[in-house]
């Protein structure tokens, strides 16, 4: 087993703990999702051996392949990428969580296609908190209606909201975007939805996300190293 993945996971756990403490939040209030996209199944095995159980993937075929290859492990698979309607069935049958719900039609398909012998698919609504055209997610003003509609679907369980903020060095801008997601989550809870998940924070901004209320950080690079995309 390579020292590096195991060591990196330990360092990330320490960073999470330090950020929880700095924000005056209880130890263990933030879950770590290890984002393994582009890394081979062997890397996931190493992280698993270090005690990591939740893994995130962005590409449908890649998740499907790794889930099959790693079927001997008790992994909780999280789909965090853009999802097209012709790929929903694979995700409904393979994933435990989907963080990237941005349209009701996709959520309806996932609910219809979720095998009834499996527990409901755990989902988050993704919100475009930066307003960038290039970004996935529903508009902040549409989040409330979409979340209520998703929460009503029988084979889905809405757990909360997810965002990918604008990549920026400006700490105030970043904090404002995280705060927007947290405010939307608070509104939904005030409406009576039982939500427990705010999925925000990646390798570069996990401490700020935790300060802003994140309950799940999605960390790839800081665990597995830099990604190399092949065409
Ligand atoms: C790739 C990815 C991550 C992980 O990003 P890092 O900067 O490598 O930690 C988190 N969330 C989403 C949605 C991603 O696509």
Please choose from 57, 202, 203, 219 the residue to mutate so as to test ligand 1's pocket, defined by most ligand atoms within 8 A of CB: 202
Q: What pLDDT was estimated at residue 198?
A: 98
Pairing of strands 216-219, 121-126: unpaired
Structure tokens at 127: 């919100």
Q: What pLDDT was estimated at residue 230?
A: 60
Q: Which of 25, 11, 57 is nearest to 214 (CA)?
A: 25
Prediction pTM value: 0.96
Burial class (CB in 10 A: 0-12, 13-18, 19+), 79: buried
Å from CA of 191 to ligand 1 middle: 30
Structure tokens at 231: 């065409």
CATH number of the structural domain 3-224: 3.20.20.10
Contact 229, 220 (CB under 8 A): no
Å from CA of 192 to ligand 1 middle: 30
Q: What pLDDT was estimated at residue 3?
A: 67
Q: What pLDDT was estimated at residue 2?
A: 61
Mean per-residue pLDDT pooled into runs of 10, the chain (231 residues):
84 98 97 97 96 98 98 98 97 98 98 98 98 92 98 98 94 97 98 98 97 98 86 47
Q: What pLDDT was estimated at residue 154?
A: 98
Domain chopping of the chain, boundaries: 3-224
Burial class (CB in 10 A: 0-12, 13-18, 19+), 2: exposed
Q: What pLDDT was estimated at residue 231?
A: 47
Cβ burial 81-113 (10 Å sphere, 16+ → b, else e) = bebeeebbebbbebbbbbbbbbbbebbbbbbee
């Amino acid at each position: 087993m390579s020292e590096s993945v195991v060591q990196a996971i330990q360092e990330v756990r320490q960073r999470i703990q330090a950020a929880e403490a700095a924000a005056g939040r209880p130890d263990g209030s933030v879950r770590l999702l290890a984002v393994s996209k582009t890394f081979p199944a062997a890397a996931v095995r190493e992280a698993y051996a270090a005690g990591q159980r939740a893994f995130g993937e962005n590409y449908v075929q890649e998740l499907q392949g790794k889930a099959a290859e790693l079927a001997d492990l008790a992994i909780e698979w999280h789909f965090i990428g853009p999802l097209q309607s012709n790929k929903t069935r694979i995700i409904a049958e393979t994933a435990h969580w989907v963080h990237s719900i941005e349209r009701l039609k996709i959520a309806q398909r996932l609910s219809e296609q979720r095998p009834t012998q499996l527990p409901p698919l755990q989902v988050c609504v993704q919100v475009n908190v930066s307003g960038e055209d290039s970004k996935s997610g529903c508009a902040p003003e549409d989040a409330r209606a979409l979340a209520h509609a998703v929460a009503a679907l029988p084979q889905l369980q809405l757990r909360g909201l997810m965002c990918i903020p604008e990549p920026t060095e400006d700490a105030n801008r970043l904090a404002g975007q995280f705060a927007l997601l947290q405010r939307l989550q608070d509104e939904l809870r005030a409406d009576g939805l039982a939500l427990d998940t705010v999925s925000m924070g990646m390798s570069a901004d996990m401490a700020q996300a935790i300060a802003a209320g994140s309950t799940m950080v999605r960390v790839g690079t800081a665990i597995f190293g830099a990604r190399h995309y092949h065409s």
